[in-house]
């Protein structure tokens, strides 16, 4: 496993996610979020918590990139990354998106937007990780033949 490439892939995907997340939440979904404002934090409260969210998002991307590297099959890395991202998006759907809708008074529109957004974004981040990650070439010759 190539740990420097895992770290580089994680940081790159994290940086892209900050930009994509800002664009989606502040522009694409702005009207939907405004309509659900009673269920959301105030801007000041949200801003005070963002640094913690950013740190844990980076930690999540390290886990994401590491998991990709553990399962990397050696075929088209970008395609594997997209597939891994979609599967991860489905995990997020099952463990988070739907449960946020169950627990908090948000509309079905927020649920639908979060499901689509999660799967599409995770596919994008998987493609980024796949494009950057490369197995450690020193170990490549030591892999068993299948």
pTM of the predicted protein model: 0.89
Evaluate whether residue 139 is within a structural domain: no
100 in any annotated domain: yes
Is the residue at 144 inside a domain?
no
What is the extent of the structural domain holding 74? 3-134
146: in domain: no
How far apart, in whole angstroms, are the C-alpha atoms of residue 33 and residue 106?
9
The answer to whether position 16 is within a domain reads yes
Tens place of pLDDT for every residue, the chain, 146 residues?
899 999 999 999 999 999 999 999 999 999 999 999 989 899 999 999 999 999 999 999 999 999 999 999 999 999 999 999 999 999 999 999 999 999 999 999 999 999 999 999 999 999 999 999 988 766 555 544 44
Question: Residue 43 domain-assigned?
Answer: yes
The set of residues, in sequence order, having a beta carbon less than 8 Å from that of 53 and lying 6+ positions away, is: none
Q: How many domains does the chain have?
A: 1
Specify if 142 maps to a domain.
no
CB 68 within 8 A of CB 135: no
- Give domain status of residue 14, yes or no: yes
């Amino acid at each position: 496993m190539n740990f420097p490439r895992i770290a580089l892939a994680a940081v790159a995907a994290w940086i892209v996610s900050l930009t994509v997340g800002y664009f989606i939440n502040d522009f694409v979904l702005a009207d939907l979020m405004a309509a659900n404002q009673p269920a959301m934090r105030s801007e000041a409260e949200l801003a005070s918590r963002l640094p913690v969210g950013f740190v844990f998002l980076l930690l999540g991307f390290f886990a994401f990139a590491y998991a990709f590297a553990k399962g990397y099959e050696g075929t088209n890395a970008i395609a594997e990354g997209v597939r891994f991202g979609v599967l991860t998006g489905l995990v997020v759907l099952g463990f988070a998106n739907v449960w946020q809708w169950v627990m908090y008074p948000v509309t079905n529109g927020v649920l639908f937007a979060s499901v689509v957004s999660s799967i599409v974004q995770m596919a994008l981040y998987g493609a980024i990780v796949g494009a950057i990650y490369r197995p450690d070439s020193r170990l490549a010759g030591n892999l068993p033949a299948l």
